[in-house]
Structure formats: structure tokens, C-alpha cells
Homo-oligomer: A and B are copies of this chain.
């Protein structure tokens, strides 16, 4: 136990091999230099918790106005109290103190706790399981030759993923700004089912702005194809649309991913019958604390909860509970090498074995294997 005496953000350059389109979808690309940021929270004993984030998320104004005043001088192990204190400042911050910023702070505090106590965070939280099957989560459809540009591209890639050991595959199909539509989705799902056979779990995460009727038509096709779940075909702000859809489909509806409202939004979905499997992310929903509350809510209602997104925060929640069956590994693409870490990491946190399983990290804290030398040598700003 020791008070926090330093909160710093280090912006550094690293190299990634992907590009992001105008709608926020990531595709493979040539190596390029980008800026990332590292949040570090250090206590009076010199212990440090760390979490990577985006410079825009961890912007200086928010760190100075909110994060530093809330954390400095406070007991570093009091994650729950500090989370609430920071979350209470969101309403007055006009959207700039985002759930992503809250999550980054939350994760850094859990990392600090795990490091101080010499335990991986999933075991600190209670320790439910040490291994989890991963599903391959593909990038969205594209127009890249040999990429995910055609139905046969999807089929070939699915077969490759199964050969690598994956027992589950989630398709992200074509989305804006690419030409897209229900017929394309149905065809892609059908050829992939045909390619991998009946024993591989398949899921679909489609264009998020279909009408109710289009979403239903696509869902009926997934019913025929025996999909394990159906994710975000419509605008998630309309909970009633999801209830309407869930009432009519055999395929489980999974959601919400992007809904505003942290664990409270998840409770609304559960109570409304808008999903058959709950969804919550660590990064997007405000951190481990609200994600765990959402998972515990799902458990209390006898419902599964699948954690959105990859990374050490997701793994911490997955290892802390028995709720949910999968880890989302990706995004993956025929031209993309997920297993080679970027220069600011010495190894990836989620290597997969030949059976398609990911072992939870045993390193104290969240388990990210940062290359602090790279970060120090490539620092371009600090605040």
C-alpha cells in the first residue's frame, strides 16, 4: 500500500503494418511509423503500472485536468474508488474524458496492483481458468488481391485458420466504404461454412447499419448455416431493434459492443431481452471494473458474456471468470502477421497453440511485455 505520486504519458513512435480506412476499419498496409502512448502510474514505493493507449485518448489536457488530480496522493490499490472518482468527472468533461481514457487509467491501476502483489491480474481477481480457446477474428472485407476481396478469399483464409488450430472464426464482412450488403454477407458466410465444415464455430460481425428487415433476412441465413452468434447488424442505440431481432432468430444475438453506458447499458440489454449472449469490452467500456460488473450481471441472469477485443485487459477478465467461452484473437488477415510483435513490444501477450488455445499470461500485472528501451529511444513527447 502506497500513494500514487506520479502519472505520466510518454508518446513514442513505433512501426505498424496496417492502415485505417475512413470508417475506422483496419486493413493490412506497408510498414509505417505511428505514434502511440504509454500511461504510467507510479506510487511512493516506486512501483509502476502501465497501459498503452492512443495519444489522442491520453491527451495532455485530460491528464492534467482530471487524471492527475484524481490519482495523485491516493492509495494506488484503491482501484474501485479511483475509478468512480474519475467516472464522475466524465459528465462535465464534454466527451473528452472518454471511456477509453477511463479504461486506460483503470488498466494501469490493475497492472500496478498485479505487479506490486506479484500476480497476474486474472489471478488477483480470483483465478477462474488459465487457458481459453481463441476464435480468429478477421479484418473486414477489402479489395486487396489475395486478401479478403472475394468469397473464395474468405473460404481460403478460413481453411488456413483452421489449419493453424482455430476452432472458431468470426467474419467481419464488407463494410463502408467498401461495397457491401446482405447478399454479399450471406454468400461469404455460406462459402466459409462450406469450406470449414460443420464442426468449426462461425460467427458474423456485419455492417452495423442494416435495417431491421435486412438484419432479419441475414439472420435467417445464419440460422440455416448454424452460426454460433450474430453481432451488431444494426445501430446499437436501438435496443428495441435488437429485442425484435432476437425474438425471431435461432442464432444467438451477441451485444452490445459500442453502446454508451458501460455496465449499465449491458443491464438494459439483458433486461430488454435484446441479446442472447452479452458483450462488453475492456477498452471501450471503461476498463476492467465495468467489464467485470457486466460479466457478473450476465452470470446472475444465467447468460454468457463474451469479451470484446483482444489484448491483456480482455484476458484478465476472461481469466477471472468462467462466463464466456472465447477469446477474440485478431484482427487477422491473409497479408497480416499477428504473431510478430511491433517494435515497442518484446513479445505478444496472446500466443496461440496448435489446438487453438491461448494461455493466460503468468507475468505479474496485465502481462504486456513492453520494450522500454524502444519506447525510451523513440519518445517524442511526454506530459
Residues on A lying within 8 angstroms of B by beta carbon are 1, 75, 77-81, 84, 117, 119, 123-129, 263-264, 266-267, 271, 289, 292-294, 296-297, 299-302, 320-322
Give A118's nearest chain B residue, CB to CB.
B117
CA distance A84 to B127 in the complex (A): 11
Assess whether B128 is in contact with A81, with CB atoms less than 8 Å apart: yes
User: Are B80 and A128 touching (Cβ within 8 A)?
Assistant: yes
* A81/B124 contact (C-beta < 8 A), A119-B1, A297-B300 known: no
CB of B289 within 8 A of CB of A300, answer no
Give the docked Cα–Cα distance between A127 and B302 (Å). 27
- Copies of this chain, tallied across the complex: 2
Interchain Cβ contacts under 8 Å between A and B, 24 examples = A75-B127, A77-B119, A77-B127, A78-B123, A78-B126, A78-B127, A78-B128, A79-B127, A81-B127, A81-B129, A81-B322, A84-B322, A117-B117, A124-B124, A264-B302, A267-B301, A271-B301, A293-B297, A293-B300, A294-B300, A296-B296, A296-B297, A296-B300, A297-B300
Contacts of A124 in B (CB 8 A): 124
Known interface pairs A1-B119, A117-B117, A119-B1. Does A300 touch B81 (Cβ–Cβ under 8 Å)? no
Secondary structure class of chain A's binding surface, majority of residues: helix
Contacts of A125 in B (CB 8 A): 80
In angstroms, Cα B1 to Cα A127, docked, is: 11
A119-B1, A124-B124, A301-B271 given; A263·B296 CB < 8 A: yes
Cα of A84 to Cα of B79 in the assembled complex, Å: 25
Q: How far is the CB of A123 from chain B (nearest CB, A)?
A: 5
Q: Is the CB of A322 within 8 A of B80?
A: yes
Q: Which of B119, B289, B321 contacts A80 (CB 8 A)?
A: B321
CA distance A246 to B351 in the complex (A): 52
A293 to B248, CA, bound (A): 30
Known: A263-B300, A300-B267. A126 touches B80 (CB 8 A): yes
- Output the nearest chain B residue to A117 by Cβ-Cβ distance: B117
